[in-house]
Structure 1
C-alpha cells in the first residue's frame, strides 16, 4: 500500500492512499470511498444534470472526494460553472497536485474552495441549476456528526433555496434512504422527489447505493 498524502486539521485526519490500482480516502478514521466502482458517484451528477433544462448551467458540488462527481459534471458541455466545496483543505491541495484519480488536471470551469457546504448553500440563494451533495456515506453514516443538519428539514430547505426555480438537488447515500426522500417530499417548495436505488456488484456481493433527487418548484 502506498500513502499518497496524510494531513491533520480542525476536522480530523484525512489520508489518501493507493492499494494496487485502487485509490482510497479515509476521513477522520472513517473509510469514505475508493474507486473500485465509481458508477454511483458519477450517477449523482448524471441523474441531476439530465433533469436540468437550458444551457449555461451552474452546478455546486458539496464534497470533492476522489473527483469523480466533479469530473462527470464537467463532462456535460452545458455546464459553464462548477463550484466544488470541500471541508478538508488537504484534499483541495492534493487535487491541485494531480493526485485525485477523477481529476488528474483541473479545468478552467472548475472552482475548488475550502469551506463548509452548509455555509456555501446559505450564502447563495437562487444561484444554482443543480446542487449535488456527497459529503457523507449517507444521512445514516456521517463522516462528521456536524453534517447531520444537512439532512434535517432546515438544511434541506436551505439546499432547495440555493437552487433557481426548477433547479435540481441530488444527494448520494451508501444505503437506501427512503426516509430522506419522504422528508424532502414534505417540504414546501420541493417537487418531483425520487429515490433511486443503484445496485453495485463488488467481490461477488450486491450493494445498494442510492441517490435522492428533488426539484425546486416554480
Structure 2
C-alpha cells in the first residue's frame, strides 16, 4: 500500500552552534490528521505519529524500581517520555536536560501540544545543558531513574559530539548518580552491540529490549537498553 501524499509547513526554526533545528507540521493531502515532526540539521529526530517507544521507555523504566521518586530525562524531544513519567503519581521530581534552548521555548509557547502544561508541572525542572556535563556535575545517588533519549541511538547521532554519551566515562557518571536499586534506560533506533558492550563495562546487569512499531505504514523496530548497577 502506498504511503499517503503529504505536505509540510514549517512551524518554527532555530540556529545554534550545533546547527539548525526545525519543527514542521506534516499535513496529509487527503485531509487526514496532521502531526508534528522535529529535525536537527536535516536529520529526522522524532514526530507525534509514532510515540509508542518513547512511552515504552518511560513505562519500562518506571516498572524497574519500587519507588521512582526522582527521574532524570536526557532529551526533551516533543515531551512524550516526560508526559508518561509525570503520569506516575510516585514521581516527585522530574529533571529534564535539553541542550537546545529553542526546543524548550517552543514547548513553553505551546507550539508542541500540551507543552505549557507539562512544563508548568511543579515536579518538573528543565536544565538547558549538555546531558554529559549535567550528569558529571550531578550529586551522587540523586536519581532513581536516568532515561537517555538524546539521539536516534549511538549509530545515528544528531551531533558528532554526542558520541561521548555512549562511552564509559559518561555511563559511569550515570551509574554514580543512581540511587541504590536505580536503573538507566537508553533509547536506540537500532540494535547496538557497541552500546551494549560499553554498558556492560560499567553496569553489572544489561538487557536489550526490542520494540516493534509501525512508522508511516512501515514495520520498524527500536531498542531500549536497560542497565542496572
Same fold (TM over 0.5): yes
Secondary structure of residue in 2 paired with 1:79: coil
CA distance in structure 2 between the partners assigned to 1:92 and 1:203 by the alignment: 27
CA distance in structure 1 between the partners assigned to 2:156 and 2:141 by the alignment: 29
Task: Identify the match of residue 131 of structure 1 among 146, 154, 161.
Answer: 146
CA distance in structure 2 between the partners assigned to 1:59 and 1:180 by the alignment: 22
- Equivalent pair of 1:41/1:69 in contact (CA under 8 Å): yes
Counterpart of 1:83 in structure 2 is: 95
The Cα shift of 1:191 comes to 3.1
Question: Are 2:44 and 1:31 aligned?
Answer: yes
CA distance in structure 1 between the partners assigned to 2:77 and 2:67 by the alignment: 28
Count of residue pairs brought into register by the alignment: 213
Secondary structure of residue in 1 paired with 2:105: helix
Bigger radius of gyration among the two: 2
- Equivalent pair of 1:178/1:195 in contact (CA under 8 Å): no
The Cα shift of 1:101 comes to 2.9
The Cα shift of 1:181 comes to 2.1
The Cα shift of 1:186 comes to 2.8
- Compute the RMSD of aligned alpha carbons: 1.4
CA distance in structure 1 between the partners assigned to 2:192 and 2:43 by the alignment: 20
The 10-residue stretch of structure 1 (199-208 or 78-87) with the greater mean CA deviation from structure 2:
199-208
CA distance in structure 1 between the partners assigned to 2:130 and 2:193 by the alignment: 25
- Which TM-score applies when normalising by structure 2? 0.88
Unpaired stretches in structure 2, ≥5 consecutive residues:
1-7, 28-33
Secondary structure of residue in 2 paired with 1:59: strand
Task: Identify the match of residue 115 of structure 1 among 118, 122, 129.
Answer: 129
Counterpart of 1:99 in structure 2 is: 111
CA distance in structure 2 between the partners assigned to 1:165 and 1:148 by the alignment: 27
- Equivalent pair of 1:17/1:24 in contact (CA under 8 Å): yes
Counterpart of 2:179 in structure 1 is: 164
- Equivalent pair of 2:168/2:201 in contact (CA under 8 Å): no
Counterpart of 2:5 in structure 1 is: none
CA distance in structure 1 between the partners assigned to 2:137 and 2:114 by the alignment: 28
CA distance in structure 2 between the partners assigned to 1:3 and 1:202 by the alignment: 21
Counterpart of 1:146 in structure 2 is: 161
The Cα shift of 1:113 comes to 2.1
Secondary structure of residue in 1 paired with 2:23: strand
